Amino acid sequence: MSDFVSAVELNDLLTRGAPVRVIDVRWRLDRPETGHDDYLTGHIPGAVFAALDTELSTHGEPSDGRHPLPSTATLQAAARRWGVRVGDTVVAYDDAKGTAAARAWWLLRQAGVDVRVLAGGLRGWQAEGFEVATDDVSPEPGDVVLEEIGRDALSIDEAAAFPEAGVLLDVRAPERYRGETEPLDPVAGHIPGARNLPTTLHLDDQGRLLDTDTVLATLAAVGVTPGTPVAAYCGSGVTAAHTALVLHEVGIEAKVFPGSWSQWSNTPGRPVATGDQPG
C-alpha cells in the first residue's frame, strides 16, 4: 500500500465520511514562523494546523540540533489535539513538496499510526478544483494512544559510524554539502563518509514522486540498492524524513539522523568534510 494519497482519493474519503484526520504541516525553512498564517489563508476543509516547531519537534541546546525529536507524550498530546482517534488514518500535507508533511509521516509511522502524505500537497488539491477553507479548525480531542517513537532515529554517534556499515545520505543542496555556503549553521560541509543526494531529485515540478524505476536508478547511483543499510540527514531532520518516505515507497527502509547537520556542526570535535567527495 502506498504511503501517498492523491487529492482525488482524499476528497473521496472525506466525502464518504471515512475516519480520516487531515493535518496541515505548513512550514518553510525560509519563513518557519508563518505556517499558521499561511494555513488561515486557505487549507483543506477540516484540516487542523500541526506546528512543526513545537508539536513535531522540541527545543534544546544548539548541540541538540534545531528540531530534536519530541517526546512520545508530546506527540500524543498533539495528535489528540488534532482530533486523532484510535483507528483513524492521518493524512499530512504542506505546500513545500511534502518535505514538512514527511516529518509528520516519519514520526506517526513510528508511533503506530496509519499515516499518508498527500501527493502534490495543497497545490495538488487546488489543481483538482477542490475548495479550501479559512477557518481555524479545533476538533473534539482524540483518544489515540501512540507507541514509543525513536526506533528509526540515529544518535550523533550512530550517524558518525554509519558510513562504515552502509550509506549515509546528505539530502541537502549540493552547495551546502560541498561547504561552499552555510546559511544557518556555524560550520559548512558534511559528515565524513556521507554521500550527497538532494531529496528534491526524487520529485517532479509539482512535488509528486517520480516513477519507481527512476527513483531506484537515482539511488543506485550513490550506492543505495534494496538491502543496503541506509540513513539520511539534512539541515535539521525535516527533509531527511522525506528521503525516508521516498525510500520506503520504493521498498527500502532508512533511518534518519534527526539532529542532522545542525547538531553535528554545533558539537565541538566533530570532523567536517568538504567538496564533492564523501571525505
In this structure, are 256 and 172 located in the same domain?
yes
Percent of the chain with pLDDT over 90: 91
Residue 14: pLDDT over 90: yes
Between the alpha carbon of residue 278 and those of residues 153, 194, 248, the distances in Å are 22, 5, 24
In terms of domains, do 59 and 172 share one?
no
Strands (E), the chain: 4-5, 20-24, 48-49, 89-93, 114-118, 167-170, 195-196, 230-233, 255-256
The 8-class DSSP code of residue 216 comes to H
Least confident of 61-65, 97-101, 103-107: 61-65
* pLDDT number for residue 39: 97
Residue 58: per-residue pLDDT: 92
List, by residue number, the catalytic residues. 234
Same domain, 11 and 115: yes
Give the angle subtended at the CA of 167 by the CAs of 211 and 224, to the nearest 5°: 30
Residue closest to 26 by CA, chosen among 131, 89, 96, 80? 96
Residues 120 and 163 in one domain: no
Average pLDDT, the chain: 95
Q: Does residue 133 lie within any of the structural domains?
A: no
Same domain, 26 and 63: yes
Residues 86, 89, 92: CA angle, nearest 5 degrees: 125
Residues 186 and 116 in one domain: no
Instruction: Note whether residue 134 is domain-resident.
Output: no
Q: Give a yes or no: residue 137 inside a domain.
A: no
> Cell 482525488 appears where?
8
Of 106, 127, 148, the one marking the end of a domain is 127
Report, as an integer, the average pLDDT of 3-23.
97
Per-residue pLDDT tens digits for 116-159: 999 999 999 999 999 999 999 999 999 999 999 999 999 999 99
Q: Tell me if 184 is assigned to some domain.
A: yes
Tell me: do 67 and 164 sit in the same domain. no
Residue 206 confidence (pLDDT): 86
What CATH number is associated with residue 64? 3.40.250.10
Domain count, the chain: 2
Its pTM stands at: 0.95
pLDDT at 106: 98
Question: For 238-247, how does the pLDDT look when each residue is reduced to its tens digit (9 = 90+)?
Answer: 999 999 999 9
The answer to the question of residue 81 being in a domain is: yes
The range of the structural domain enclosing residue 95 comes to: 4-127
The rounded distance, in Å, linking the Cα atoms of 127 and 203 is 17
Alpha-carbon span 239 to 254, nearest angstrom: 13
Helices first, then strands: H and E counts in the chain? 10, 9
Q: Is the pLDDT of residue 279 over 90?
A: no
Rounded Cα gap, residues 44 and 23, in angstroms: 9
Is residue 111 domain-shared with residue 161, that is, in the same domain? no
pLDDT at 114 over 90: yes
Side chain identity, residue 7: A
Tell me if 200 is assigned to some domain: yes
* pLDDT confidence of residue 152: 96
147-199 pLDDT, tens per residue? Answer: 999 999 999 999 999 999 999 999 999 999 999 999 989 999 999 999 999 99
Among the residues of 82-206, which ranges form H helices? Answer: 99-110, 121-127, 156-161, 174-178
Note whether 188 and 236 are same-domain residues: yes
pLDDT bracket for residue 32 (50, 70, 90): confident
Shared-domain flag, residues 48 and 162: no
Distances (CA, A) of 107 to 122, 152, 201: 21, 9, 23
Residues 207-235: what's their mean pLDDT? 96
In a domain, 145, yes or no: no
- End residue of a domain, out of 127, 147, 175: 127
**Of the residues 127, 148, 178, which one is the last residue of a structural domain?**
127
Q: Are residues 121 and 22 in the same domain?
A: yes
**Is residue 64 domain-resident?**
yes
Shared-domain flag, residues 174 and 110: no
pLDDT over 90 at 30, yes or no: no
